[in-house]
A and B are shown apart, each in its own frame.
Chain A
Amino acid sequence: MSALPTVTRAREARAGLLRRKLSDNLLAYAFMAAGLACFALFSWYPLVKGVILSFQQDNFVVPPYWVGLDNYRALFADPLFYTAWKNTLFFTALALVFGYVLPFFIAVLLNEFRHFSGYFRVLVYLPVMLPPIVSVLLWRYFYDPGNGLFNSILRGVGLPESQWTQSSDTAMISLVLISTWANLGGATLIYLAALQNIPGELYEAAELDGASIWQRLRHVTFPQMRFIMLVLLLLQIVATMQVFIEPYALTGTSNPDTVTVLVLVYRYAFTVNNDFGLAAAMSVLLFVVLGAFSAIYLRLTRSAD
C-alpha cells in the first residue's frame, strides 16, 4: 500500500526528467535550426555536390549525367590548365616575397618608432578596408601605359616606361604589386602585435652580451616570431592562391598571361559555356591543395590554444 505510490512517483520523476531533457534538446535544436540549415545548404552540401559534379556533365542544357573521369581528362588536355597553375604559383611565390617578407620588416621598423604609431597603423591598414574592386580599378589608371600615373612619374625622372599589365613580361608582377598594396596592412598589424609581446629582457640580455642590432634581429626577434610567421605563411599561401579580382579587373579572364586557377574556374563555369562539371573538377583540385594548407593551419592554431 505504501510502496506503490513511491514507485510511481519515482517513475514519474524519471519520466519528467526525460521529458525535460527532451524538451531542452528540442529547444536547443530549435535555436540552431536556422544555422544548421545555412551550413547544410551552403557549406556541407556544396562540398559533396562539388565532388559529385566533377564526375558529371552539367551545363543547364541537358540534365546532369555521369561521365566518369572525362572532366579531369579534359582538364589535363587543356593547355590553359597548366598555364593557370603556373601563373597561380608564380603569383603566390611573388606575393610571399612582397606580401609576407616586406610586412615583417615594416613591422620591425614601425615597432621602433615612439611617435605617430597610431597614424602608421591606420595608414597601412587603410587599403585593406577599401573594397578590393576600388583598389584594383584605381590602379588600372596608374598602370595605364599612355598617361598613367606610374609612367608619368617614370618619364618625369627619366626612367624607361613600362607596359605594366599589358605586357606578358610585367603583367603578373603588376598584379602582385597592387595585391600587396591592398593587403599588406593585415600582416603588418599582426606582426606588430607579435613584436610587442617579445619580452624586452631578451633584447637587454643580448645587448649585454654585445649583440649588434642585426644579431639581435637574427637571434632574438626571429626565433620569438617563428610561430606567428609560420601561421601567416600558411594563411598567405591559402589567400593568394585564390587570387581572382586582380586578373579579372586588370587583364580580363581570357588573357593567358594572367589566367589563374580561379579565373579558369570562372571561365569554365560562367563565361564560355556553363561547363559546371569541368569547373567543379578544377575546384576539387584547388580544394585538395588549399585544404592541406588550411588543415595544417587549423591544427597549429588549435593546438596552441
Chain B
Amino acid sequence: MTLTAPPKVPVDGAPGVPVASKRRSRTAASGPASRTLVSVVDLRRHRTLYFVVLGLTLLVFTLVFLFPLYWMVSGAVKSPAEFARSTPTLIPESFHPGTYVTAWNNMQIAKYFTNTVFYAFGGWIISLLVDVGVAYALSKLKPIFGKIVLGGMLASLMLPPTALLVPAYLTVVDLPLVHLNLLNTPWALWLPAAANAFNVYVLKRFFDQIPNDLLDAAAIDGAGKLRQLWSIVLPLSRPVLGVVSIFIIVALWKDFLWPLVVLQDPDHQTLSVALARLANTSQVPPTELMAGLAIASLPMIVVFLIFQRSIIGGLGSGSLKG
C-alpha cells in the first residue's frame, strides 16, 4: 500500500509509437538549447552572475540533500562518545567500520534485511503475475463486463489506502469465506500489493498498443492465448514491465504503516518496522542505529542510481497528463 496516488508512467518505446524525443535532455540536445525564462543572450551577458548562482545552488543543495546521508554513513563509524559530542565532528576522528558488522549481527538486521528482500521479491513476482493476467485479459481477450471490471479497479484509486487500514486489517485477520488468518505471514503484504489498479492500468494501456495482427498471426500458427501472452506480448512489453517492477519493489521496500500493523511479531518484521521499534528501545547505541539506517537505505539508493533514467523519466515525461 503506497501512501500517495502514484504518478503515471510514460509508455516509452511502445510498439508503433515513435521512441524519439521522449526525454528532452538539455545537455544532449544539439543545436540551440530550448528557450527558457532567461534568454541565452542574457545568460552570456551575465556569465559571472550565472556561475555564482549555479555555485551557490550546488553548495546549498548538496548540503541540504546529501549531507544528511553523509552524516548517517559517517556517524555510524564514529565512537559512541564522539557521536554524542556537543560540537559534532565533520570527519570522524575515530574510525570503527566494525559498527556495521555489530549492527548487522546484534540488531539482527541480517534477519530483517532478509525478510524485507523476501517480501519485496515475492510481492514483485505475485504482483506481476496477477496484474499482467488482468491487464492481458482486459486488453486482448475483451471479456463481457470487462469495462465494469476495469472501472471497479480504477475506482479503487480514489480510495486513500490508509482510509482502508482498519477494515483491511480485519480482513487479513479473518479472510472472508475461507477464514484464514494471514497476520505475520508474507501473504498479508503480497496480496494487497497485487491489488494495484495503477499497475493494471499502465500494463493494459501498453498491451493495447500491441497490434492484434501479431496475435492473430500467432493464433493461426496454433498458439493458444497463454502462448501468445508469453511469446509475443511479454517480450514486447519489456520496458513497461521494467518500470512497473521498479515501482512495485520500491513501494514494498518503503512501506511502513501496513507492515507495522500486519507484522507485529518481531520475527517477521520488515527492516523499516524493526528499525522503528529498535530506535525506541534503549539497548541500541545510536551509532549502531545509524548503521542500521544506512543499511536499510542502501538497496534503494542502488536501485535509484541504476534505474534513475526510468524513475526520473517516469515522473517527468509522462508526468500527470497520462
Chain A contact patch, size range: 35 or more
User: Bound state CA distance, A234 and B240, in angstroms?
Assistant: 26
A112 pairs with B38, CB closer than 8 A: yes
A253-288 residues at the B interface, CB under 8 angstroms:
262, 265-266, 269-270, 276, 279-280, 283-284, 286-287
Binding stretch for chain A, among B11-19, B208-216, B313-321:
B313-321
Binding stretch for chain B, among A3-11, A79-87, A118-126, A163-171:
A118-126
Query: B154 — nearest CB in chain A belongs to which residue?
Result: A298
Say if the beta carbon of B231 comes within 8 Å of chain A. Answer: no
Say if the beta carbon of A2 comes within 8 Å of chain B. Answer: no
A39 pairs with B152, CB closer than 8 A: yes
1/0 per residue B1-37: CB within 8 Å of A? 0011101100000000000000011110000011111
Contacts of A181 in B (CB 8 A): 64-65, 68
Say if the beta carbon of B163 comes within 8 Å of chain A. Answer: yes
Distance to closest chain B CB from A85 (angstroms): 14
Query: A294 — nearest CB in chain B belongs to which residue?
Result: B158
B276 pairs with A249, CB closer than 8 A: yes
Most-contacted residue by chain A among B36, B84, B168 (CB, 10 A): B36
A38 pairs with B130, CB closer than 8 A: yes
A213 pairs with B160, CB closer than 8 A: no
B37 pairs with A235, CB closer than 8 A: no
User: Bound state CA distance, A110 and B163, in angstroms?
Assistant: 36
B133 pairs with A287, CB closer than 8 A: no
Known: A114-B26, A294-B160. A129 touches B166 (CB 8 A): no
User: Bound state CA distance, A242 and B303, in angstroms?
Assistant: 26
A239 pairs with B171, CB closer than 8 A: no
User: Bound state CA distance, A29 and B144, in angstroms?
Assistant: 9
B61 pairs with A35, CB closer than 8 A: no
Contacts of A133 in B (CB 8 A): 256, 272-273, 275-276, 296
Contacts of B289 in A (CB 8 A): 137
Query: B10 — nearest CB in chain A belongs to which residue?
Result: A193
B149 pairs with A49, CB closer than 8 A: no
Known: A38-B194, A193-B316. A137 touches B275 (CB 8 A): yes
Contacts of A90 in B (CB 8 A): none
Contacts of B96 in A (CB 8 A): none
A159-214 residues at the B interface, CB under 8 angstroms:
181, 186, 189-190, 192-196, 198, 200-201, 203-204, 207, 213
B143 pairs with A123, CB closer than 8 A: no
Contacts of A127 in B (CB 8 A): 65, 68
B170 pairs with A120, CB closer than 8 A: no
Known: A269-B169, A294-B157. A244 touches B142 (CB 8 A): no
A127-179 residues at the B interface, CB under 8 angstroms:
127, 129-135, 137-142, 146-147, 149, 152, 155-156
A190 pairs with B7, CB closer than 8 A: yes
Can you offer 27 A-B residue contacts whose CB atoms are under 8 A? A24-B143, A27-B225, A31-B133, A35-B133, A46-B164, A49-B167, A50-B164, A114-B27, A117-B26, A129-B303, A134-B293, A137-B289, A149-B71, A190-B315, A190-B316, A216-B37, A221-B37, A235-B4, A242-B3, A248-B276, A266-B261, A269-B261, A270-B261, A280-B167, A286-B160, A294-B158, A298-B157
Q: B residues near A, CB below 8 A? A: 3-5, 7-8, 24-27, 33-39, 43, 53-54, 57-58, 61-62, 64-66, 68-69, 71-72, 75, 84-88, 129-131, 133-134, 136-138, 141-144, 146, 149, 152-154, 156-160, 162-171, 175-176, 191-192, 194-195, 197, 200, 225, 250, 253-254, 256-257, 261, 271-273, 275-276, 279, 286, 289-290, 293, 296-297, 300-301, 303-305, 308, 311-312, 315-317, 319-322
